[in-house]
Structure 1
Amino acid sequence: MAHRKSPARIAKDARVAHFRSLAAPQAAALQAAAAPGPALAWDAIASLEARLVGRIVLPSSPDYNEARQESNPAFQAYPEIIVYCACENDVLECLAVARAYKVWVAVRCGGHSTAGYSVNSGMVVDLSDMKGVVLDPARERVHVLPGTDFDHFNGAMNHTGWHVPTGACGSVCVGGFVQGGGYGYTSRAFGIQSDLVESFRVALANGTIVTASAQDHPDLFWALRGGTGGNFGVVLQVTYRMHRLDQVWAWAISWDQAHAAQVLTLMQKSFMKTGAPDALGYMMNLGYQQGVPVYMVQGMFCGTREAGLQAIAPLLAIPSAQLLVDKTGTYPEMNIWLEDHPYTLPDNLPDGIAETKASGYINTPLSPADWQRIIDYFKTSPNPWSLAYLEPYGGAINRYPVADSAFIHRHVDADLVVDVFWRNPAERTQMEAWLDGFMQLVKPFLNGHVYQNYPDARLPDFANAYWGPAYPQLQQVKARYDPTNFFHFQQSIRLPQG
């Protein structure tokens, strides 16, 4: 058999040759000017490219502007180097170069950090090419690579009869999502996604790879389930316990404005901590459709249509209720269906629009008058793209022992989330002022904590908001596994003092 170089290898050799051709002139210029070199010289970049299976993108690369962009254009960072890793060794090579040249590292899977923390001005270690799902039905386990987005994860699980809760957005990836907890339509039935993790395979800052589980490195295992990504190491693989779930019933109901406060009062009383079966998961949405406010709930029931209809009967009994979605299928099929049905929110969102998000946990009963004030405020949105929604907890989420992971948000009713969208600095100022007013209005009903998968750079005390009493223990884990604070960003876990 003739030995032929692969097209990928030919392209790589061309990139390496290009980088090396720039190394000599760079060295000569620096020597002549008696100036220190950049953090990463061309010869180091060429050498790294040669050792990778993946590829490097630089500011001079034609695809740099696309590669540096997060999902939210509010964040405009300019990394010195972006490395698309294709395998575990690529990650280790990146970390070795970053250590040697003291380059600041950010780890990115899907680029969905709501505070922009998966990109920086140094090196972005991008894991989006590290995709893969391997089911082990005999052991009721599934092994998933960190760059696997939910479209691929759900697609691989589709029609197998097995299930792991995922989020509603198909482009979000496993690596970041699971380390922040991970909420989805089936979390009330099966738990926050991190509750189902059996083990992580992790590359540490010192270049070693460890497996973190209840038996091995249990402190790291505890911290990775809620401690968020970019703090302790690079997650290379996640192994989950699977649950049986053949089909779900997807549903959605809308109400007139006159009954919205009544609906929200009933939901908090009977469809969150208590009342509703664990099998019922949903999101309550306030949004705009064709410029008009809508009041709508959509969700899934992990069971039959008949049992699902019985569970939501009190909601359908409220005057003006309309059952807009009534469809049975697999979880992946219904997850996609609910993206567009009964309608898409936010409606008619312009391309390239930026987003600001704020959230908080409700754990105080609201009266109908309280809910009405929230509804009335929402109607004052300066533009028709704002969203306010509830992600209800209860069920398996609240039963999981608080001390068993770094995800502390257990004994709550729901996560209240508000999204605003803007196109320019003036509109940003206007919309964020409106958002601040919304959060001030609901502050008396919030417990002071924030879902760490919705990071907010404006929080005055992020450590308490995300982790509360678990923060000192997280700092101890940080000191053990990343004692030089190699992994850091604006809201990363700080090393303990003294």
Structure 2
Amino acid sequence: MAHRKSPARLAKDTRVAQFRAMAASPTATPSIAWQALAQLEATLVGRVVLPSSPDYDDARQESNPAFQAFPQLIVYCACESDVLECLTLARRHSLWVAVRCGGHSTAGYSVNNGMVIDLSEIRGVVLDPPNQRVHVLPGTDFDHFNGAMNRTGWHVPTGACGSVCVGGFVQGGGYGYTSRAFGIQSDLVLSLRVALADGTTVTASATENPRLFWAMRGGTGGNFGVLLQVTYRMVRLEQVWAWAVSWDAAHAAQVFTLLQARFMQTGAPDALGYMMNLGYQNQQPVYMAQGMFCGTQEAGMQAIAPLLAVPSAQLLVSKTGTYPDMNVWLEDHPYSLPEALPDGICETKACGYIAGPLTPAQWQAIIDYFATSPNPWSLAYLEPYGGAINRYPVEDSAFIHRHVDANLVADVFWRTPEERTKMEAWLDGLMRMVAPWLNGHVYQNYPDSRLEHFAHAYWGPAYPTLQKAKASYDPGNFFRFAQSISLPAVDAKEPQSQSGGGA
């Protein structure tokens, strides 16, 4: 048969030729030899992006433009062997490595000024219904993950944002609308395939490398190795009922108090998942819960009947369908929060866990403070726990946040340094006010670079065991970033002159 090069191979030949031409230039003096870069490009199925590449500025950007790093090289891996080639080059040239899947790290830890191993092109979903399993590659975003499972009757909890990828999400736990019914996403993991710093590839499960299996379910990405594949236990979920309810400001504190008393650790059926939102619509604060019930509309209406009985309650959404379809529907129904967010705007996030009851006056203080936001894009919301999340044994994974009512989260948005100063001061004021009502821990999938005691906040008493896992699987501290897990003999302080890493 005729032998013709694919367009991808022709493009690769062009890049290799460019790198080799630079190697012959007496003025080109990169920290990595051009010949080595040419060899890497020639070996990969994927591709190398350098500061001189036309798409470099796009490639280095995170989802949040607040983070601006300038990697020496970014490698878009297309298969496992590409990852191993990257690790070999990084060891040989002592490159500082960050691992990126979707680029959604809320502290910017999936990019750095060294080498970025990008997994966004290693994606795919393979269902195994007879064994109730699904195998997922790390760069698979939730749009693809949910889409592959749509109308199959099978389900794994995912987050609400469709562009977030599996690789980073699952290693930080992974919360979604159906987590109260089925658990944090990492609770459904059966095994992980991982590339270690020394170039070996291992399987982590309850029976193989159990310490690594324990650590990577909650220990966050970029700490132990490069995640190559996840195998989940699937659950049956034919349909969900999507719903949203709003209330007037006068009844907001009553709603928050009711939610905490009867819709978190106790009272509500596990099948009910939701978020309670404070946002702005038409420049005015809104108070809205939206979520899913794993079952029928009739059963769901019964579950939220106490919420509908609050004066001023309005049922804004009532729609039945598959989980993937309803997940998309709830993105902008009844409306989007934040509203009319400008393109390219920057975000700062903070959060903390509520573990004890708040009084109506304390809820009212949060509501009143939120109304003082300097701009109309701020968000504050509750991610309620309870159900399967809280029943999962706390000692069985590095995700420790089990005996809590909810995660209280706040996001602020800004465009200029002046706006950043104002909005972050407002955010800090909110977190100072609520600090006495929080338990001191923070959801590790919402990392905050400003946390002083991040190890305690993310992992609490699990941290020493995570350090032992680090010593076993990354004894040279190859994978590191500002809030990475330190080796047992090293104090858990932020490394000097480093600004990123992780997945």
Does the alignment reach a TM-score above 0.5? yes
**Among residues 196, 201, 215, which one is paired with 1:223 in the alignment?**
215
Q: Is the 8 A contact 1:178 1:194 kept in 2?
A: yes
1:145 lines up with 2:137 in the alignment: yes
TM-score, with structure 1 as normaliser:
0.98
Trace 1:107-126 onto structure 2 (pairs within 5 A).
107-126=99-118
Determine if the alignment matches structure 1 residue 25 to structure 2 residue 25. Answer: yes
SS at match of 1:25: coil
> Pairwise mapping of residues 429-440 of structure 1 onto structure 2 (< 5 A)?
429-440=421-432
How much has 1:169 moved relative to structure 2?
A: 0.2
Residue 4 (structure 2) pairs with residue 11 (structure 1): no
Partner of 2:419: helix, strand, or coil? helix
* 1:458-477 paired onto structure 2 within 5 Å: 458-477=450-469
TM-score, length of structure 2 as denominator length: 0.97
| Cα deviation digits, residues 201-221 of structure 1 (max 9, x gap) | 000000000000000000000
2:242 aligned residue: 250
Of residues 206, 215, 236, the one that matches 1:214 is 206
Paired residue type of 2:78: A
Distance in 1, matches of 2:377 and 2:435, equals 23
Match of 1:347, SS?
A: coil
Moved over 3 A (4+): none
State the shift of 1:175 in Å: 0.1
- Alignment of 1:80 with 2:72, yes or no, is yes
1:169-184 paired onto structure 2 within 5 Å: 169-184=161-176
* Deviation readout 1:234-291 (Å, 9 max, x if unpaired): 0000000000000000000000000000000000000000000000000000000010
What's the % identity of the aligned pairs?
A: 79
Higher relative contact order (CA 8 A, sep 6+): 2
The residue that corresponds to 2:497 in the other structure is none
SS in 1 for 2:147: helix
Query: Matches of 1:325 and 1:430 in 2, distance apart?
Result: 35
User: Is 1:188 aligned to residue 180 of structure 2?
Assistant: yes
Specify the code of the residue in structure 2 equivalent to 1:181: G
Q: Distance in 2 between matches of 1:107 and 1:40?
A: 19
CA distance in 2, matches of 1:480, 1:358: 32
Deviation at 1:40, TM superposition (A): 1.1
Structure 2 matches for 1:94-105, cutoff 5 A? 94-105=86-97
Which residue in the other structure is 1:325 paired with? 317
Q: Take 1:152 and 1:243, find their aligned partners in 2: how far apart are those partners?
A: 18
- Paired with 2:25 and 2:343, the residues of 1 have a C-alpha distance of 42
In 2, the alpha carbon distance for the partners of 1:221 and 1:315 equals 40
Residue 258 of structure 2 corresponds to: 266
Deviations 1:9-59 (Å, cap 9, x if unpaired)? 111011101100111224xx58xxxxxx64311111000000000001111
Alpha-carbon distance between aligned partners in 2 of 1:473 and 1:265, rounded to the nearest angstrom: 37
- Equivalent residue runs for 1:21-420 within 5 Å: 21-26=21-26, 38-420=30-412
Is residue 489 from structure 1 mapped to residue 473 from structure 2 by the alignment? no
1:64 Cα deviation from its structure 2 partner? 0.5
Aligned residue identity for 1:270: R
**Match of 1:81, as an amino acid?**
L
Q: Deviations over 1:434-462 (max 9, x none)?
A: 00000011111100000000000000100
Q: Measure, in 1, the Cα distance between the counterparts of 2:48 and 2:462.
A: 38
Give the count of matched residue pairs.
490
SS of equivalent to 1:74: coil
Q: What secondary structure, in the 3-state scheme, does the structure 2 residue paired with 1:275 have?
A: coil
Tell me, in whole angstroms, the C-alpha distance in 2 between the residues paired with 1:6 and 1:345. Answer: 44
> Which SS does the other structure have where 2:487 is aligned?
coil
User: What is the distance in 2 between the residues matched to 1:245 and 1:203?
Assistant: 33
Tell me the CA shift for residue 7 of structure 1.
1.1
Q: 1:448 aligns with which of 435, 440, 443?
A: 440
CA distance in 1, matches of 2:357, 2:22: 65
Task: Give structure 1 stretches of 5+ with no counterpart.
Answer: 31-36
Secondary structure of the residue that 1:352 maps to in structure 2?
A: coil
Q: Which amino acid in the other structure matches residue 154 of structure 1?
A: N
RMSD: 0.8
Q: Counterpart of 1:126 in structure 2: which amino acid? A: D
Indicate the residue corresponding to 1:34 in structure 2.
none
> Contact 1:39 / 1:102 at 8 angstroms: preserved in 2?
no
Q: Distance in 2 between matches of 1:258 and 1:16?
A: 65
Q: Could you tell me how far apart the structure 2 residues matched to 1:400 and 1:328 are? A: 29
CA distances 1:284-306 after superposition (whole Å, capped 9, x unpaired): 00000010000000000001110
1:40, 1:225 → 2: CA distance?
A: 35
Q: Could you list the per-position Cα deviations for residues 467-492 of structure 1 after superposition, in whole angstroms to 9, with x for gaps in the alignment? A: 00000000000011000100000000
How far apart are the structure 2 equivalents of 1:7 and 1:307?
54
Contact 1:39 1:103 in 2 (8 A): no
Measure the CA separation in 2 of the matches of 1:8 and 1:255.
55
